Chains A and B, each alone.
Chain A
């Protein structure tokens, strides 16, 4: 057991810092710090900068053009990126679809789609959830019927994150209604420009426009866009979900969030003293920090254990539950710290249309972020579903 970083790992951290100091555009990090939406252009610009450095697809094997970083490297990068307010990497193509294509896609599909993910030619979104199929994903109803060399797709997806920017969507569709639910699902790649697709925004409670409904009305999809075998989509979907969950502990985000809490609490005054000196508030911050220190090590332990390319099992559910609880607790501390300045509507403060709000302690968007991040325990398999998975695995058959 050795908790210290090796010389190579320390050197790697220095490389990451130097890169971020030099290459991270200030307008983007400012937006991240203020909790503003980056817009399509902002995300694409950052992806391109990472791709030039060869650091975009850190989890891909080298043969596909990835950086093939180990767990510790990924952890170091995540920590530094969050500390520097780098935009998050949009995961849909890079860490959700790509592992599926690399494992189950045809050679042609790999050769065609993977480079386009790296270059940013395609922006992918995830078409899993439907109005009636959330936690019970396998009950999904969107159908794909084979018609010669095409599928005809009908139905609706919802909660499609950043679907407004996407030109491609990977979907779970029903190709057989007469078998057990899980055995009639296929994995299809669909061009969002195909006639018959309508995208409608859903405004979330913090005023943000990050999710959408996507409607399919007799949409023609080339049969070659089927990934793997027909009716085997559930296997691929579950494989993808475990990948979705490995990134979800969000240790780097929590660390950056905790620093922001301390920053706010240093400038916010309570009883004529900085809030950070208030024993009650200091105790809350300390409690979160203690949890986060342990979480960082749990995260490293679990991702180190999983051999490269192999997703961890039940432990990823544990990471998701604990990681999101801690992140949400830190969001709660931030809104507490801001006091009365948590009340203004963030989007107004954030849009810069209003200089009445005091910017220095970046108190503006904290309450909006607190509400927005309620999603963390809902999506990617809700925390109740994760606990169910843990119980099933560890207690054997408990329902």
Chain B
């Protein structure tokens, strides 16, 4: 066993950390949060130049990483700085699906993505699907040599900025069936595609996407007809692991800020960290932070396993991050007092990132139930 980062990953971590320290302070980030686009093209390009997007893909996909620990190394750093640029949605999810399933022509999008020239989004969840990956009711119907999409997709992150959306739709079966789901590449300017956007509480933007007789050639299909579920689940496992690593990074920042504050803030003539009521809570956070780190390592280290093992470790990590995340976010705010309630203080954004992560790819309860089911199997 060896828990050290490889030399390449260590370099990636160092350069990314340096980049974000220099370019992504609280004021800059808060400016980005309030901007119309919700993210900075300059930062996006900087990350691409640094090779951060390439690190999320394997060599044969045109990148130079792509393993679980590459993904977690990147996302832990993004999480520490509270980065809102859409790497998870554009690269890991949508880009990852194209890389996993695309034919040669479609793979060219991955190259553009890694170069920083393309934005993507994954339009999968629907108003009634909550966290279930198989509950797809949007339809794809064959019409001669064309495919016609209809349906509605919920809270699609990065949809407005995307040049192209990876959209799931059902070619056969019923909501809840794994079989029958296909993926399609839909250009942002496709007729019948409506994207209604809004800002997200923890930064970035999302949209409700409606598909109203969106007509595509067959070449828009990604992978085999009706067989996309396994790829969606595997990609979501990578994205969930990335999100867990991001949350870990955010929790590190929350704990660092809180520790520092306990040492500097004085009330009753002494640092508040000298009150045992706070010192013990801080100790508990630090204990759980180490648990969170291990859960992320477990998930990343098992991403290449067979489905049962992979998913069981991912669900374990996401459940633990949900529980520890709540504790870290709430207790960090509480131990700061009023100051942590203000938008301009770094912890406010970090705490929101931690909590809102519980609302993507399944929350604490969803993954607890899933873990039980996977363990019984």
Contact = CB atoms under 8 A, between A and B. Distances in A.
Nearest to B356: A343
A343 B202 contact: yes
Contacts of B360: 340, 343
Interface in A364-389: 367-368, 370-371, 374-375, 377-379, 382-384, 387-388
Contact of A280 (B330, B359, B369): B369
Interface stretch (B59-67, B113-121, B297-305, B347-355): B347-355
B206 A202 contact: no
B130 A377 contact: no
30 contacts: A134-B267, A136-B268, A202-B342, A204-B341, A206-B201, A269-B128, A271-B135, A272-B135, A280-B365, A335-B359, A336-B363, A336-B364, A339-B359, A339-B363, A340-B154, A341-B154, A341-B155, A343-B155, A348-B198, A355-B196, A356-B196, A356-B197, A357-B198, A367-B359, A368-B201, A371-B201, A371-B352, A371-B355, A378-B338, A384-B275
Complex A-B, nearest 10 residue pairs according to Cβ-Cβ distance, in ascending order: A356-B196, A205-B348, A136-B267, A356-B208, A345-B199, A203-B343, A269-B128, A340-B155, A339-B130, A345-B201
A374 B341 contact: yes
Given A135-B267, A135-B268, A378-B338, A270 B199 contact: no
B200 interface: yes
A268 interface: yes
Interface in B184-218: 196-202, 206-208
B127 interface: yes
B333 interface: yes
Given A134-B338, A374-B333, A339 B131 contact: yes
Most buried by B among A340, A344, A356, A378: A340
Contacts of B207: 356
B365 A343 contact: no
Given A269-B128, A344-B200, A384 B277 contact: yes
B231 interface: no
A119 to B, nearest CB: 32
A270 B343 contact: no
Interface in A224-251: none
Contacts of B155: 340-341, 343-344
A349 interface: yes
B369 to A, nearest CB: 6
A332 B348 CA distance: 17
B130 A269 contact: yes
A343 B200 contact: yes
Interface string B336-377: 011011111000110110011011100111101100000000
Nearest to A336: B363
B368 A280 contact: yes
A134 B337 contact: yes
Contacts of A271: 130, 132, 135
B162 interface: no
A346 interface: yes
A205 B351 contact: yes
Contact of B365 (A269, A281, A338): A281
B334 A378 contact: yes
B278 interface: yes
Given A344-B201, A371-B201, 16 more contacts: A159-B338, A205-B343, A269-B128, A269-B130, A272-B132, A280-B365, A280-B369, A340-B359, A342-B356, A348-B198, A349-B198, A354-B196, A374-B333, A378-B333, A378-B334, A378-B338
Nearest to A272: B176
A129 interface: yes
A42 interface: no
B125 interface: yes
A278 B176 CA distance: 16
Interface of B: 125, 127-132, 135, 154-155, 175-176, 196-202, 206-208, 267-269, 275, 277-278, 326, 330, 333-334, 337-338, 340-344, 348-349, 351-352, 355-356, 358-360, 363-366, 368-369
A354 B359 contact: no
Nearest to A382: B337
A12 B137 CA distance: 51
A134 B267 CA distance: 8
Nearest to B277: A384
Contacts of A377: 334
Interface in A257-304: 268-272, 275, 278, 280-281, 284
A252 to B, nearest CB: 23
A73 to B, nearest CB: 34
A203 B201 contact: no
Given A357-B208, A367-B201, A367-B355, A135 B337 contact: yes
B342 A344 contact: no
A268 B343 contact: no
A387 B349 CA distance: 29
A339 B125 CA distance: 11
Contacts of A352: none
A207 interface: yes
Contacts of A357: 198, 208
Given A344-B155, A345-B198, A387 B343 contact: no
Most buried by A among B130, B197, B268: B130
A270 B132 contact: yes
Most buried by B among A158, A356, A357, A379: A356
Nearest to A367: B201
Contacts of A158: 338
A358 interface: yes
Given A134-B267, A344-B199, A344-B206, A358 B338 contact: no
A6 B125 CA distance: 52
Contacts of B200: 343-345
Interface in A199-214: 202-207
A380 to B, nearest CB: 12
B341 A375 contact: yes
Contacts of B366: 270
B128 to A, nearest CB: 4
A387 to B, nearest CB: 7
Contacts of B352: 205, 371
Contacts of A348: 198-199
Most buried by A among B154, B198, B342, B351: B198
Nearest to A388: B277
Contacts of B356: 342-343, 367
B135 A204 contact: no
A268 B198 contact: no
A271 B131 CA distance: 8
Contacts of A354: 196, 198
A280 B349 CA distance: 29
Contacts of A159: 338
A379 B340 CA distance: 12
